[in-house]
Structure formats: C-alpha cells, structure tokens
Amino acid sequence: MASRRKGVIFVCSFSGALGDMKRKDQHDRLKVLAVLKASPRFSVWDASDNKIIANTMTDLMTDGLIDYPDPQPGYPWSQARVTEAGMKLLEQSA
C-alpha cells in the first residue's frame, strides 16, 4: 500500500516577473521594458490580467520597443524581445 504524504502541497504558477510587478509600475514603460529585458517570458494571464499592463504591452509593441520573434512558444507562455529601439531607450534612461 502506498503511503500518503501529509502536509505537502505542490503549487503550479503560470506567472512570471511581469505579473509580479506592482500595478503602479505597470504604467511605467521603462520599468516594464527592464523587466522584459531581464525576464522576457510571460504568461498570457500576466499580459492581460488587467488593463494597465495590457495597455502598456500594446503601447510597447505598437511603438516598436518589443516584438515577439516566436509568437507561440507554448501556451500559456509568450516571449517578448526588447528591440533595438527598446534597448536604446533603456540605455538613454540609465
């Protein structure tokens, strides 16, 4: 008979650094760019969890500061790449 472990919980998380950002920081394009540079992988829920981050991500993409070289790395994940223009903006703000 197999024994059962008591008190053990396994937590699965589909969130990354983008989802861990404070809402007020999700408004800041430079902070979001810096997070995506350090941790480009994020879940679809991170990017659409609220209108703040969804709008910031849309703005970054529309302005050519991020792109998605592999649009489907495996659901629910996406992977953004900070473009040359995005890197230049980060360097100028340092």
24-39 pLDDT per residue, tens: 999 999 999 999 999 9
- Rounded Cα distance between 84 and 89, Å, is 9
The pLDDT tens digits for 38-91 are 999 888 877 776 889 889 999 999 999 999 887 677 777 888 999 999 999 999
pLDDT at 25: 95
CA pseudo-torsion sign 18, 22, 28, 34: negative
Q: At what angle do helices 29-38 and 51-62 cross, to 10 degrees?
A: 80
pLDDT at 26: 92
Q: What are the structural domains of the chain?
A: 17-93 (1.10.10.10)
